Amino acid sequence: MHSRHRRACTTVAVVATVATVVLVSGCSSGDDWSGSHSKPTAVGTLGPGFTDPTAPPAPEATVRPRPGSWDGIHPPKGYRVVLLTTGEDPQTRTLAGAVTTWAEQEHVSLKTVTATGPDQFISGTSRAIDLAPDLVICAGNGLVDPLALVTANHLDRQFLVIGAEVAEPTENVTAADWTGASFRGEGLGTPSAYDPATFTGERAGRAVRAGVAAVLNGLTGTVIWLD
């Protein structure tokens, strides 16, 4: 493919009803989301210690999986993910980079919707939902409150928040969090334990993998705690 054509098809601007969001996707046939698509199931099994199989976690429970217990879980072929992100701070860039790296390693079909300001948070979230992915992964503290407003009306769509939490999540909103992150919105401000230094590529990568493992195994509406 000619380099100019490749660059042209890598970034597509999408005009939403209320605001403009940026949709980034590849141009290969693997990114064609128009065809029929069955409900995804996990490839592999959770290792010992992810949860207690005799006592499944209740909704909104905090799950503290044993490190590496998610390593055997992979998304199925054709898994469709939208990365919904906002913010240019180093923490958000680290989270978004971890999602992109994971998608490349797992051969996931990934599209990115970027809300560039508060006036685009709701429209950006709606755009991510309209793409009909298997999972929306959210990065950026500014999205927490808008997600709380929107996700309850879309219970058929799964969401994973990394590095933050929705204070009262519905069953379709899972979080992967740790001490030093845990922003919860609702006007509570930044938590006293918030520490930007904890947003490392390694920890963000673990959050993505552990969170996706939980979603693929139906352990949704929970907080996956990584410390």
Q: 189-225: per-residue pLDDT in tens?
A: 677 789 999 999 999 999 999 999 999 999 999 999 9
- Check pLDDT > 50 for residue 182: yes
- Check pLDDT > 70 for residue 12: no
CA 131, 132, 134, 137 torsion-angle sign: positive
* Domain layout of the chain by residue ranges: 3-225
Just give the CATH number of 3-225: 3.40.50.2300
The share of the chain scoring above pLDDT 70, in percent, equals: 84
In angstroms, what CA-CA distances link 134 with 53, 67, 160? Answer: 25, 25, 11
Structure tokens at 192: 């006293």
**What's the pLDDT tens digit per position in 82-128?**
999 999 999 999 999 999 999 999 999 999 999 999 999 999 999 99
Neighbours of 106 (CB within 10 A): 18
3-class secondary-structure state, position 169: coil
H or E stretch covering 209: helix 201-216
CA 204, 181, 85, 132 torsion-angle sign: positive
Helix segments in 15-166, DSSP class H: 90-106, 121-130, 144-150
Residues in the chain, total: 227
Whole-number Å distance between alpha carbons of 156 and 166: 17
Query: pTM for the full model?
Result: 0.86
